């Protein structure tokens, strides 16, 4: 497979820029990169994912086995011999293991084959089950193939997913997106061995992983992605974990880091063995203490849990473990109770969860404050309570709009018409209206232009310095975290892996994100 | 894991609902005082009449499209075909064949259109099919009440109302009635078992079973399990759904033809009414759910549901001296079963 | 109000309406009488249409389970008639009785709807369908004493159609009737309708009302903002049900009969169609959309009767009405989510 100058944009935002790389038959080619570096997008394009086509397709040349190809959908990619093992399993939950593995390729009775053609021919259940069991054995697994997928553990599902793809005899190129992410170390190594064997038989493998150690062990070549472009490429033998880690993060543009401050050792909130079951971003056994008045950064590779903290605290997803706030254990993660106690969460998915798009920006700003804390409301007596005192509300909103330079046509403009940056300002203004003691913000500057980014970071700093609000920022922008945070906690696999100071080196961060080197938390 | 699956299998809806129906039917039958033979014969007749209609619901359920209330459209296309052929006065074998051919053609076309529409509303298929059913009913009435005699020329004046426009309320089918109905009639002590027709119904059941165990059937099951995931596996889900609906429509049309020839009298404007609701209720009574349906659900369900149906009025008469109460009961059972299935199933999804 | 744009169904309806009015004029029908009728029909059906708003706003979709509320109202009416209450006291008694009954029914209904999020409409349809045979038991067995309500000798239970003439037929319609030339304006009726509109308007400006709208607009946001989604939806459903009960009382007093048994089955689809005609998209709906839609639909219904009688066959009116009704609903179902409304 040969890729030349591949580019892709999502809504105008570039995800991949001029990517060129190649995978030879029998070669194991690894890809590493931090969040948003474009690696998943690349695999999506190569596997023909409908998402790519729905968001405008791609530009560039892709050649497969010497011929130029245009990947329009999954069926085509499959026909060409490309197989993909997905990060979010594409297994069908109500079907059994055998049915999943042999989907579209079931063994049928020869008799009905001749009568009705392969598609409408009666399935030979026994042969199917045997064939499925055989491929699982190749992965060193012995399972009852008659079990439905919903009854399997995540570990097992990953193996079945892989079995499904490698069962194809016409497979020429195997794409893997974090195949070992959910597996234990041993299972992961087992899998690697199987892949190596398959590569020796001529299969080309392209895979994404964050386990740098594995990359070093098995890959013939490793390419590092950053911000949608390739920054470096190493051959087997030159691969060093430190180099990979450093390349992933790159040089920080702003050398400035937050000045060291005296933070009182009074905990604002502390998590003990906290877990959040958010699909795709699970937190598992988190131990963390956030101190009063500090700005704590929370970062991780995507899917490792940083985004789930706020949601878990507000009860959006099932949680476990203990959370102690203001010296009291929080019994239930109830959004209303938490807001009344001074905790507020700004979600990362602004468009979907952060605003009321059809409401005016003024209404957005005062909404939560009005609903929960009865701010700006006039009460006429029980049934008709809670009309909005427009004058007071408008005065308040007006001041915020001025202070934060929220660009809008009027206070009544619908929030869906504002730009991303201004929407985020509205969200922060809403948080400010509540005057929380603890503010958890996720991805505050995602999808926002440079000037607005500055403003927003400044807003957060102001809130912290002036109101002594404790802030936790979950973000993948290491740059920005270094500038404003007092401490930065790195999460791996749903737990806190390491807490670093903002002036730690890129390599240290890169290694921490990859979960390499050392296994102890460092509590200050 | 096997154990957990086994435990689930024992206590789940699939078994509880039919058992409940069994108890209700038995109790109602005892109260009604009707003889076992009478009830049996009646139920068998219903089995033949409604069998294929209920079977036509199965594949859309497996495909994840829920209960296909639009089978009423399939039934209407059969009736439309019948009316056209009668109005053109084609009799005998040629007539029967034309009806079959025309109704299949019509249901294919309508199925294609409806399939397209349903592809736009993935996730809300059921409410859309109900409304489509109502709408189609209005169109049907418009065509045959107002169109026949005015815009559409009719050769056979017998079927037209006295005022000259519109088809009569009831059309006699004696020329087709019971031609194949009484084939191989087996009589055992008062029980009448029309073997041929039962075999026909079972044949259709067998066909569907076969289809569901082909690659095509697997793809349908996959689409029902998760349409995006099926897409990723290379299945053209949209095309598959259209095929499924067309199949359902054709089966419904054929089923309605069987129904009509069995009754012998064709109530033009009401024969198809409630075909959808009662068929769905029968399927659910057999233990099917909105997400999963098997042949045996259909077959068992018809027996259970129709037994209750038949004995209810008399039971009501004996219990409350008011037959109407028995009728209310069976309406309630029909609608309530569907409502129950909807509520229970969604709860499981949200878990 | 600012985002009122003309969408295809409204264009079609307006054209249809204009054609019908033209036809009526050509056929020299009495437009004045038709106009008077239209005002009465507006309120008669209008309250039922208004009852859909709370659930639409809460994101619970179109209330296909209207029979639940209608049933509550019918019970209220029957009890009032049972005690032979006449005039205004009779009418208001039926309203007063309907409110708590509908409140309870709405509460149950709301609990069920909360369990079937995403499928409220189909579930509501069948819950509505199931309630009707259940109520048939009630109509047959409940101990009503008023002889005029019951079947004549030999029957059991209430009649399917109970005349309101001796009680409070047209009591609201006739109240403050102003005649200007040939035009009759039922002020009392319109005032009552206006009162309900005002109530809804104020309600949706209150804290609870705004919470309902927010929940319908973006449920996840509302949850994150501390709103009790289940409770809010419950309030919306209860309100919708109570309004439906009031709606059927108004309808019945105007129509002159209490219609029991299987009548409610066909009564409520026009209400849903009306709100869609008025511009509702199946989500946040404004009061004036409901009013406009009710008026347009009822006027069309009115016009089809005489025209169809003259030109076509009488049954066609009913068929045409249902055709229009269901096409509109189908259109809305198909195109609702395509307009890029945030869920």
CATH of domain A267-513: 3.40.50.300
SS3 at position C27: coil
**Residue numbers of the domain that contains C62:** 8-337
For residue C80 the two structure tokens come to 């009032």
- What is chain C's length? 343
Q: Which residue has the higher pLDDT, B322 or B185?
A: B322
Contact between C258 and C162 under an 8 Å Cβ cutoff? The reply is yes
Residues of C in contact with A436 (CB under 8 A): none
Binary contact (C123, B342; C-beta < 8 A) = yes
CA–CA distance, B221 with A94 (Å, rounded to integer): 8
**pLDDT confidence band for B235 (50 / 70 / 90):** confident
Pairs across A and B, CB distance < 8 A: 83
Looking at the partner chain, which of C122, C315, C322 has a beta carbon nearest the beta carbon of B127? C122
CA–CA distance, C300 with A175 (Å, rounded to integer): 61
- What is chain B's length? 351
pLDDT at A297 over 60: yes
Identify the DSSP state of B65.
-
Binary contact (A151, B1; C-beta < 8 A) = yes
Start-to-end CA span in chain A (Å): 49
| C-alpha distance from B313 to closest chain A C-alpha (Å) | 41
Subunits in contact with chain A (3 or more CB pairs closer than 8 Å): B, C
CA–CA distance, A153 with A165 (Å, rounded to integer): 19
Q: What is the DSSP annotation of C298-327?
A: HHHHHHHHHHHHHHS-THHHHHHHHHHHHH
Interface membership of A373 toward C (CB under 8 Å): no
Binary contact (B331, C132; C-beta < 8 A) = yes
Binary contact (C225, A368; C-beta < 8 A) = yes
Indicate whether C328 belongs to any domain. yes
The predicted-structure confidence for A99-149, as pLDDT tens digits, reads as follows: 888 887 787 777 777 777 777 888 888 888 888 888 888 777 777 888 888
Question: Of A63-72, B207-216, B226-235, which has the strongest mean pLDDT?
Answer: B207-216
pLDDT attached to residue A327: 81
Average pLDDT of the segment spanning C20-29:
73
Q: Is domain A2-81+170-249 in CATH 3.40.50.300, yes or no? A: yes
CA–CA distance, A261 with B79 (Å, rounded to integer): 84
Q: Which helix (H) or strand (E) holds C26?
A: helix C8-26
The predicted-structure confidence for B18-49, as pLDDT tens digits, reads as follows: 888 888 888 888 888 888 888 888 888 888 88
Average pLDDT of the segment spanning B199-211:
91
Interface membership of C233 toward A (CB under 8 Å): no
Which residue is closest to A76 within chain B, CA to CA?
B234
Tally helices (H) and strands (E) across chain A.
Answer: 18, 22
pLDDT at C237 over 80: yes
Which residue is closest to C318 within chain B, CA to CA?
B138
Which residue is closest to C284 within chain A, CA to CA?
A358
pLDDT at A519 over 70: no
Binary contact (B342, C132; C-beta < 8 A) = no
Instruction: State pTM to two decimals.
Output: 0.87
pLDDT attached to residue A517: 66
Question: Of A213-227, B157-171, C106-120, which has the strongest mean pLDDT?
Answer: C106-120
Interface membership of B301 toward A (CB under 8 Å): no
Q: What is the DSSP annotation of C134-196?
A: HHHHHHHHS----GGGB-STT--SB-SEEE-TTTTTTTTTSTTEEEETTEEEEHHHHHHHHHH
- Give me the number of domains chain C comprises: 1
Least Cα distance to A257 among A490, A506, A442, A465 occurs for A506
Q: Is domain B11-350 in CATH 1.10.3470, yes or no? A: yes
Interface membership of B14 toward A (CB under 8 Å): no
Interface membership of A74 toward B (CB under 8 Å): yes
Contact between B212 and A115 under an 8 Å Cβ cutoff? The reply is no
Q: Which of A103, A111, A113, A165 to mutate to test the interface with B (most CBs of B within 10 A)?
A: A103
Indicate whether C39 belongs to any domain. yes
Contact between A442 and A476 under an 8 Å Cβ cutoff? The reply is no
pLDDT at A522 over 50: no
Q: Which residue has the higher pLDDT, C19 or A278?
A: A278
For residue C289 the two structure tokens come to 């959309």
| C-alpha distance from A91 to closest chain B C-alpha (Å) | 7
CA–CA distance, B280 with B212 (Å, rounded to integer): 19
pLDDT attached to residue B1: 57
Binary contact (C224, A345; C-beta < 8 A) = yes
The three-point CA angle A233-A234-A236 to 5° equals 150
Q: How, if at all, do strands A221-226 and A59-64 pair?
A: unpaired
The predicted-structure confidence for A424-437, as pLDDT tens digits, reads as follows: 889 988 988 888 99
Looking at the partner chain, which of C121, C140, C315 has a beta carbon nearest the beta carbon of B325? C140
Interface membership of B252 toward A (CB under 8 Å): no
Interface membership of C284 toward A (CB under 8 Å): yes
CA–CA distance, C321 with C302 (Å, rounded to integer): 10
- The CATH number given to whatever domain includes residue C17 is 1.10.3470
The predicted-structure confidence for B266-297, as pLDDT tens digits, reads as follows: 888 888 888 889 999 999 998 888 888 889 89
| C-alpha distance from A300 to closest chain C C-alpha (Å) | 23
Binary contact (B324, C136; C-beta < 8 A) = yes
Residues of C in contact with B336 (CB under 8 A): 126, 130
Contact between A221 and A233 under an 8 Å Cβ cutoff? The reply is yes
Least Cα distance to A523 among A290, A201, A207 occurs for A290
Question: Of A163-172, A184-193, A373-382, C152-161, which has the strongest mean pLDDT?
Answer: A163-172
Pairs across A and C, CB distance < 8 A: 77
Query: Predicted ipTM?
Result: 0.85
Residues of C in contact with A339 (CB under 8 A): 225-226
Average pLDDT of the segment spanning B165-182:
68
| C-alpha distance from A74 to closest chain B C-alpha (Å) | 5
| C-alpha distance from B64 to closest chain C C-alpha (Å) | 14
Contact between C189 and C175 under an 8 Å Cβ cutoff? The reply is yes
**pLDDT confidence band for A447 (50 / 70 / 90):** confident
Q: Residue with structure tokens 């009564």?
A: C267
Least Cα distance to A64 among A172, A153, A157, A141 occurs for A172
For residue A34 the two structure tokens come to 């931090």
Contact between A422 and A408 under an 8 Å Cβ cutoff? The reply is yes
pLDDT at A385 over 70: no
Interface membership of B226 toward A (CB under 8 Å): yes
Query: Among A200-204, B303-307, C12-16, C258-262, which stretch is predicted with the lowest mean pLDDT?
Result: C12-16
SS3 at position A177: strand
pLDDT at C70 over 50: yes
Binary contact (B213, A123; C-beta < 8 A) = yes
For residue B170 the two structure tokens come to 């009831």
Mean residue pLDDT across chain A: 82
Identify the DSSP state of A92.
-
Identify the DSSP state of B143.
I
CA–CA distance, A157 with A96 (Å, rounded to integer): 11
HSE-up (13 A, CA, CB side) for residue B29? 21
Binary contact (A314, C284; C-beta < 8 A) = no
Residues of C in contact with B120 (CB under 8 A): 334, 338
Looking at the partner chain, which of C206, C284, C342 has a beta carbon nearest the beta carbon of A386? C206
Indicate whether C3 belongs to any domain. no
In chain C, residues 104-163 whose CB comes closer than 8 Å to chain A = none
DSSP E strand boundaries for chain B: 170-172, 185-188, 191-194, 265-267
The predicted-structure confidence for C35-68, as pLDDT tens digits, reads as follows: 888 888 898 899 999 999 999 999 998 999 999 9
pLDDT attached to residue A158: 82
Contact between A325 and A269 under an 8 Å Cβ cutoff? The reply is yes
DSSP E strand boundaries for A283-392: 283-291, 295-300, 319-325, 328-329, 343-346, 377-379, 385-388
């Amino acid at each position: 497979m040969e890729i030349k100058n591949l580019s892709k944009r999502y809504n105008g935002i570039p995800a991949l820029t001029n990517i060129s790389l190649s995978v030879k038959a029998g070669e194991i080619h690894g890809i590493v990169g931090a969040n948003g570096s474009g690696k998943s997008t690349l695999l999506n394009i190569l596997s023909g994912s409908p998402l790519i086509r729905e968001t405008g397709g791609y530009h560039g040349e892709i050649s497969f086995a010497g011929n130029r190809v245009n990947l329009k959908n999954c069926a085509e990619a499959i026909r060409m011999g490309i197989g993909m093992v997905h990060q979010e399993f594409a297994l069908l939950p109500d079907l059994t293991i055998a049915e999943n593995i042999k989907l579209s390729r079931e063994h049928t009775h020869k008799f009905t084959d001749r009568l009705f053609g392969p598609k409408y021919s009666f399935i030979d259940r026994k042969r199917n089950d045997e064939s499925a069991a055989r491929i699982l054995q190749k992965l060193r697994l012995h399972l009852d193939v008659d079990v439905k997928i919903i009854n399997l553990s995540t570990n097992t599902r990953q193996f079945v997913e892989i079995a499904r793809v490698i069962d194809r005899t016409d497979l020429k190129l195997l794409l893997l997106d974090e195949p070992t992410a959910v597996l234990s170390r041993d299972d992961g190594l087992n899998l690697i061995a199987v892949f190596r064997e398959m590569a020796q038989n001529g299969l080309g493998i392209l895979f994404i992983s964050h386990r740098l150690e594995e990359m070093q062990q098995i890959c013939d070549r490793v390419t590092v992605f950053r911000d949608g472009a390739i920054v470096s490429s190493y051959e087997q033998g030159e691969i060093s974990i430190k180099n990979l880690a450093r390349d992933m993060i790159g040089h920080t543009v702003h050398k400035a880091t937050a000045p060291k401050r005296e933070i009182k050792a009074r905990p604002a909130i502390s998590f003990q063995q906290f877990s959040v079951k958010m699909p795709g971003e699970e937190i598992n056994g988190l131990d963390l203490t956030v101190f009063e008045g500090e700005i704590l950064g929370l970062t991780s590779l995507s899917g490792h849990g940083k985004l789930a903290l706020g949601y878990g605290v507000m009860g959006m997803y099932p949680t476990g473990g203990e959370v102690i706030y203001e010296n009291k254990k929080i019994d239930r993660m109830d959004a209303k109770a938490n807001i009344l106690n001074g905790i507020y969460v700004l979600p990362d998915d602004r468009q979907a969860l952060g605003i009321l798009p059809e409401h005016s920006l003024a209404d957005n700003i005062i909404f939560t404050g009005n609903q929960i804390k009865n701010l700006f409301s006039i009460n006429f007596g029980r049934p008709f309570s809670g009309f909005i005192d427009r004058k007071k509300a408008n005065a308040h909103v007006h001041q915020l709009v001025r202070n934060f330079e929220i660009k809008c046509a009027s206070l009544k403009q619908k929030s869906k018409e504002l730009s991303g940056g201004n929407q985020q300002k509205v969200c922060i203004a809403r948080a400010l209206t509540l005057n929380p003691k603890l503010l958890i913000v996720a991805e505050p500057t995602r999808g926002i232009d440079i000037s607005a980014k500055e403003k927003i970071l400044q807003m957060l700093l102001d809130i912290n310095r002036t109101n002594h609000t404790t802030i936790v920022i979950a973000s993948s922008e290491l740059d920005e975290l270094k500038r404003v945070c007092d401490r930065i906690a790195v999460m791996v696999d749903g737990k806190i892996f390491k807490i670093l100071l903002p002036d730690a080196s890129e390599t240290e961060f890169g290694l921490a994100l990859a979960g390499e080197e050392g296994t102890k938390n460092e509590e200050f | 894991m096997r154990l957990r699956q086994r435990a689930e299998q024992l206590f789940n809806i699939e078994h509880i609902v039919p058992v409940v129906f069994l108890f209700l039917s038995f109790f109602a039958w005892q109260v009604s005082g009707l003889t076992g033979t009478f009830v049996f014969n009646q139920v068998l007749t219903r089995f033949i009449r409604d069998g294929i209609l209920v079977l036509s619901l199965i594949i859309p359920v497996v495909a994840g499209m829920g209960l296909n209330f639009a089978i009423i459209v399939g039934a209407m296309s059969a009736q439309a075909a019948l009316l056209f052929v009668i109005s053109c006065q084609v009799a005998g074998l040629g007539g029967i064949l034309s009806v079959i051919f025309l109704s299949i053609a019509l249901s294919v076309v309508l199925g294609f259109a409806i399939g397209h529409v349903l592809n736009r509303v993935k996730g809300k298929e059921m409410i859309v099919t109900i409304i489509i059913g109502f709408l189609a009913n209005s169109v049907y009435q418009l065509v045959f009440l107002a169109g026949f005699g005015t815009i559409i020329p009719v050769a056979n004046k017998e079927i037209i109302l006295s005022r000259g426009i519109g088809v009569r309320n009831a059309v006699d089918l004696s020329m087709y009635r019971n031609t194949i109905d009484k084939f191989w009639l087996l009589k055992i002590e008062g029980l009448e078992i029309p073997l041929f027709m039962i075999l026909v119904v079972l044949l259709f059941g067998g066909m569907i079973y076969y289809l569901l165990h082909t690659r095509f059937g697997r793809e349908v099951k996959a689409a029902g399990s998760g349409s995006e995931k099926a897409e990723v596996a290379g299945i053209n889900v949209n095309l598959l759904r259209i095929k499924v609906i067309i199949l359902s429509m054709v089966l419904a049309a054929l089923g309605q033809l069987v129904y009509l020839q069995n009754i012998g009298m064709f109530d033009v404007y009401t024969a198809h009414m409630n075909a959808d609701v009662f068929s769905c209720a029968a399927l659910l009574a057999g233990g099917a759910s909105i997400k999963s349906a098997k042949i045996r659900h259909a077959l068992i369900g018809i027996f259970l549901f129709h037994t209750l149906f038949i004995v209810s009025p008399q039971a009501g008469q004996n219990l409350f001296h008011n037959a109407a109460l028995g009728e209310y009961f069976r309406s309630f059972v029909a609608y309530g079963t569907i409502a129950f299935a909807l509520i229970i199933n969604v709860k499981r999804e949200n878990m | 109000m600012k985002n009122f744009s003309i969408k295809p169904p409204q264009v079609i309806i307006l054209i249809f309406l204009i054609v019908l009015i033209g036809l009526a004029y050509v056929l020299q029908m009495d437009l004045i009488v038709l106009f008077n009728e239209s005002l009465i029909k507006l309120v008669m059906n209008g309250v039922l249409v208004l009852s859909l708003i709370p659930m639409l706003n809460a994101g619970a979709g179109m209330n296909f389970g209207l029979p639940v509320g209608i049933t509550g109202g019918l019970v209220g009416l029957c009890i009032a008639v049972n005690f032979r209450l006449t005039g205004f006291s009779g009418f208001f008694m039926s309203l007063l009785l309907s409110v708590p009954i509908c409140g309870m029914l709405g509460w149950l209904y709301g609990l069920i709807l909360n369990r079937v999020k995403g499928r409220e409409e189909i579930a509501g349809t069948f819950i509505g369908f199931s309630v009707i045979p259940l109520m048939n038991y009630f109509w047959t067995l409940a101990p009503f004493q008023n002889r005029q309500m019951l079947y004549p000798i030999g029957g059991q239970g209430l009649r399917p159609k109970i005349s309101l003439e001796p009680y409070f037929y047209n009591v609201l319609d006739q109240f403050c009737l102003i005649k200007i030339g040939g035009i009759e304006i039922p002020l009392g009726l319109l005032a009552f309708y206006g009162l309900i509109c005002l109530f809804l308007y104020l309600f949706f400006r209150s804290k609870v009302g705004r919470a309902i709208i927010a929940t319908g607009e973006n449920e996840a946001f509302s949850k994150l903002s501390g709103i009790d989604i289940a409770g809010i939806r419950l309030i919306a459903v209860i309100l919708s049900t109570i309004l439906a009960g009031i709606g059927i009382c108004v309808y019945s007093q105007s129509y002159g009969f209490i219609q029991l048994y299987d009548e409610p089955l066909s009564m409520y689809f026009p209400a849903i169609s009306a709100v869609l005609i008025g511009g509702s998209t199946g989500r946040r709906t404004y009061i004036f959309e409901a009013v406009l839609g009710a008026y347009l639909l009822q006027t069309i219904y009115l016009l089809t009767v005489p025209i169809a009688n003259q030109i076509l066959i009488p049954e066609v009116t009913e068929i045409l009405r249902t055709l229009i009704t269901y096409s509109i609903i189908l259109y809305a179902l198909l195109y609702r989510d395509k307009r890029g409304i945030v869920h």
